[in-house]
């Protein structure tokens, strides 16, 4: 148990409660890959928070009549009950229960929906888990639950992290860091903290990210399995050191507004993430052929036009195309007319760095 987040007594549990939040996905520039026990990161990571790719979650809680074993959770996704999603929520609840001792006192109904297409290969765990964490933290705030520092976002991030590591960063707008790093004050392995807004150069505050939807359906290797393969990985120790250094370098790049250095970092980190998959035991590849097509096309376009356009990848085949707002018209034209057709007319979502989660109604 992390003492910072140990629960205080909630004097009066309400009969029912409802809260709804929208919370965004995020795109890591310096990647989190490799876990320590207890859902702690093997290295710090730094992401931009997205705006349009987000989850909307409504949580309804009502007092349970009788004490039973386990949690009582019903989950609806896009209006349909999804019993298959329940085990993930139950696992999340069991992880946070030491900090949220009221969980077995309630029946939960979770209604959730994403703004991005289902099975499009966009990780919904970051937006989904952060939205749910915000609802629960909202409940605690309503009940007068207090924590050290009284920081609502920090507690929500702490909960989100226990659901999905990268979800911890979705609690904040603009840019966030998860994992202890000298680059950002008060950073922690337990929760994410924002990169202070005034230490992010304006060019990055609304950085564009067009997600090229190359993947659909489920991945051949889940991120959970992938993280596990960093245990005993031949290059793990050097990689973790590198990522720590990269977070420090990126914090300076964000301050200075150096888009070229930012793009170089984003691409190098993306290729390193996938190189770790290719060199693990067992080895695997999450690239699809069109991932290579897109990367080569972006490199060719940049070489030919001098445009500020870069890519990054998550642990999947989709390509995130990063470019400053000032280049928007030109780059979107390239994406729509050249890049998407080259990738079999794959779909895309134009997104950008956003302001973080928000409470609904």
Using CB under 8 A, pick the residue from 97, 242, 330, 355 that binds its own copies.
Answer: 242
Of the candidate spans 12-20, 69-77, 291-299, 351-359, the one that interacts with its own copies by CB under 8 A turns out to be: 291-299
Using CB under 8 A, pick the residue from 295, 332, 350, 355 that binds its own copies.
Answer: 295
Of the candidate spans 40-48, 131-139, 269-277, 324-332, the one that interacts with its own copies by CB under 8 A turns out to be: 269-277
Number of Cβ within 10 Å of residue 295's Cβ equals: 17
Site string for its own copies, 318-337 (x = CB under 8 A): --------------------
Tokens encoding 220: 């051949």
Using CB under 8 A, pick the residue from 281, 304, 329, 361 that binds its own copies.
Answer: 281
- Closer CB to its own copies, 138 or 267, in the complex: 267
By the 10 Å C-beta count (0-12 exposed, 13-18 middle, 19+ buried), 292 is classed as middle
Question: Over the range 8-20, which residues count as b (16 or more CB within 10 Å of their CB) and which as e?
Answer: eebeeeeeebebb
Residue 283 binds to its own copies (criterion: CB under 8 A): yes
Residue 287 binds to its own copies (criterion: CB under 8 A): yes
- Closer CB to its own copies, 99 or 240, in the complex: 240
Q: Rounded to the nearest 5°, which phi and psi values hold at 346?
A: -70, 155
Residue 289 binds to its own copies (criterion: CB under 8 A): yes
* 23: preceding bond cis by omega (within 30 degrees): no
Residue 216 binds to its own copies (criterion: CB under 8 A): no
Residue 291 binds to its own copies (criterion: CB under 8 A): yes
Using CB under 8 A, pick the residue from 218, 224, 238, 338 that binds its own copies.
Answer: 238
Q: What is the DSSP string of 67-93?
A: --SS-EEEEEETTEE-GGGHHHHHHHH
Residue 215 binds to its own copies (criterion: CB under 8 A): no
Number of Cβ within 10 Å of residue 118's Cβ equals: 11
- Closer CB to its own copies, 206 or 242, in the complex: 242
Query: Which residues are within 8 A (CB) of 28 and not within 5 positions of it... i.e. 6 or more apart?
Result: 45, 46, 47, 166, 169, 269, 312, 314
Tokens encoding 272: 């390193």
Of the candidate spans 19-27, 55-63, 181-189, 264-272, the one that interacts with its own copies by CB under 8 A turns out to be: 264-272
- Closer CB to its own copies, 50 or 270, in the complex: 270
| C-alpha–C-alpha distance, residues 188 and 61, integer Å | 31
Q: Which of 91, 174, 104 is nearest to 132 (CA)?
A: 91
Residues within the interface to its own copies (CB under 8 A) = 234-235, 238-239, 242, 267-268, 271-272, 274-276, 278-279, 281, 283, 285, 287-293, 295-296
């Amino acid at each position: 148990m992390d003492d910072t987040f140990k629960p205080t007594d909630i004097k009066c549990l309400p009969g029912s409660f409802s809260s709804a939040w929208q919370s965004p996905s995020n795109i890591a520039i310096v990647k989190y890959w490799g876990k320590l026990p207890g859902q702690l990161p093997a290295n710090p990571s730094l992401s931009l928070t997205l705006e349009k790719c987000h989850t909307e979650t409504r949580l309804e809680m009502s007092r349970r009549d009788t004490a039973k074993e386990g949690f009582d959770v019903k989950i609806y996704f896009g209006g349909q009950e999804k019993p298959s999603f329940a085990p993930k929520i139950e696992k999340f609840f069991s992880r946070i229960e030491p900090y949220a001792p009221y969980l077995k006192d309630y029946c939960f109904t979770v209604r959730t929906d994403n703004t991005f297409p289902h099975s499009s290969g966009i990780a919904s765990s970051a937006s989904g888990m952060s939205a749910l964490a915000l609802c629960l933290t909202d409940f605690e705030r309503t009940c007068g639950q207090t924590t050290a520092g009284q920081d609502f976002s920090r507690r929500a991030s702490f909960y989100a992290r226990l659901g999905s590591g990268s979800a911890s960063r979705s609690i904040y707008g603009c840019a966030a860091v998860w994992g202890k790093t000298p680059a950002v004050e008060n950073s922690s392995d337990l929760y994410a903290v924002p990169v202070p807004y005034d230490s992010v150069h304006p060019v990055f505050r609304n950085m564009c990210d067009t997600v090229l939807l190359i993947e659909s359906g489920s991945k051949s290797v889940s991120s959970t399995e992938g993280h596990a393969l960093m245990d005993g990985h031949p290059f793990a120790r050097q990689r973790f050191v590198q990522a720590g250094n990269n977070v420090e370098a990126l914090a300076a790049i964000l301050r200075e507004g150096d888009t070229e250095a930012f793009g170089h970092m984003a691409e190098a980190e993306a290729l390193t993430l996938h190189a770790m998959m290719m060199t693990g035991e067992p080895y695997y590849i999450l690239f699809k052929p069109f991932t290579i097509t897109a990367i080569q096309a972006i490199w060719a376009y940049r070489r030919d036009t001098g445009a500020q356009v870069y890519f990054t990848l998550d642990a999947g085949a989709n390509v995130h195309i990063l470019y400053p707002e000032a280049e928007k018209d030109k780059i979107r034209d390239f994406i729509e007319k050249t890049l998407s057709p080259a990738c079999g007319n794959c779909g895309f979502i134009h997104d950008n760095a956003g302001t973080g989660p928000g409470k609904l109604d």
